[in-house]
Amino acid sequence: MPGLTGKDTVLTDYANKLAVLDAPKGRSLTQDALRRLSKNKAAVVSIGIVVLIILVAFIGPFFVPWGYSEVDWTSIRKPPDFDKGHYFGTDQNGRDMLARVLQGTQMSLIVAAVATVVSVTIGVIYGAVSGYFGGRVDALMMRFVDVMYALPYILFVIILVVMFGRNPVLLFVGIGAIEWLTMARIVRGQTLSIKEKEFIEAARASGAKPFAIIMRHIVPNLSGPVVIYATLTIPEIIIAESFLSYLGLGVQEPQTSLGTLISAGAPVAEVLPWMLLGPAVVLVTLLLCLTYIGDGLRDALDPKDR
């Protein structure tokens, strides 16, 4: 600039650099969502409790003196006994209830995790394909979803059990293969609006294939609704597994789950209350915490609240 000496130019450049350094830094959508989630005390406390339950369920058995299938013939139907290491008492067969509650929590969490992954994977791909292609393809795929909705999932699980036996893996797949229906509808609705965006038109104009557009451009933009619904799906799957185990269609002996333990403890709750209280408290705590986490994620990722 005319009229400025070399010293003035250096000072001006230095002032500009300071202004750039002092300028406020913007936050990404992820950082903004995490900030909003951290302000939700119920969700933060729930996350801590769920993490604690997971750690105790998977690490705790190494510190428990009894195995979940080990029988103590001298302590059958006994209340909590700290001298013998039966901190939650024993069941009718003399097995340690604390070890069985930890094993049952493990199994319920594994069922929920695997079934959620199965349902999210199927639902996202199915719903994205249906919403993107539209027309007759969309109508045909959604009618299939409607037919699947009309079938009770218990019937589906019973058919699997009759055909392939009582395998825990089939329980994971069976529950996950039913829970994807709602996910598919949610993803389809989001895809119908996303596919009209300019960046999708640009991808089509560049010659990208339909499935490449779905996987590279549409699915990544569905992360918000998918994460929210997946978190809310986990409690539903835990309840479904517990209900099936309560009916005797789920996890079988010597393995156990929270539903199996509640099923065994409910008939003797008046005389052996410790058999019901342990698994029931863990199950209710898990369901409440996961529900609060889902609500917190929904509030944090909702663009209308930003």
Give pLDDT, residue 158.
74
Higher pLDDT, 26 or 272: 272
- Model confidence at 15, pLDDT cuts 50, 70, 90, reads low
Is residue 188 exposed (0-12), middle (13-18) or buried (19+ Cβ within 10 Å)?
buried
CA 274/CA 152 separation, integer angstroms? 34
Per-residue confidence band for 9, with pLDDT thresholds at 50, 70 and 90: low
Q: What is the mean pLDDT of the chain?
A: 80
Q: Please report which confidence band the pLDDT of residue 23 belongs to, taking 50, 70 and 90 as the band edges.
A: very low
Give me the long-range contacts of 144-151 (CB less than 8 A, separation at least 24): 145/181, 145/184, 145/185, 148/178, 148/181, 149/181
Cα distances (angstroms) measured from residue 105 to each of 27, 44, 256, 281: 38, 21, 9, 11
What percent of the chain shows pLDDT beyond 70? Answer: 85
Q: Where do the structural domains in the chain lie, given as residue ranges?
A: 36-65+97-305
Q: Which residue has the higher pLDDT, 119 or 169?
A: 119
With beta carbons less than 8 A apart as the criterion, state whether 219 and 124 touch.
yes
Per-residue pLDDT tens for 26-61?
555 567 777 777 888 888 999 999 999 999 999 999
One-letter amino acid for residue 64 of the chain: V
Compute the Cα dihedral for 150, 153, 154, 155 and give only its sign: positive
Mean local confidence (pLDDT), 103-115: 86
pLDDT at 5: 53
Q: Just give the CATH number of 36-65+97-305.
A: 1.10.3720.10
Average pLDDT over residues 10-32: 55
| Stretch among 101-110, 179-188, 242-251 having the lowest mean pLDDT | 242-251
Chain segment 191-249, per-residue pLDDT in tens = 888 888 888 888 888 888 888 888 888 888 887 788 878 877 877 777 777 777 777 77
Counting residues of the chain whose pLDDT is more than 90, the rounded percentage is 10
Binned at pLDDT 50, 70 and 90, residue 75 comes out as confident
Residue 96's identity, in one-letter code, is D
Quick: pLDDT tens for 155-176: 777 777 777 766 777 777 777 7
Q: Is the Cβ–Cβ distance between 183 and 124 less than 8 Å?
A: yes
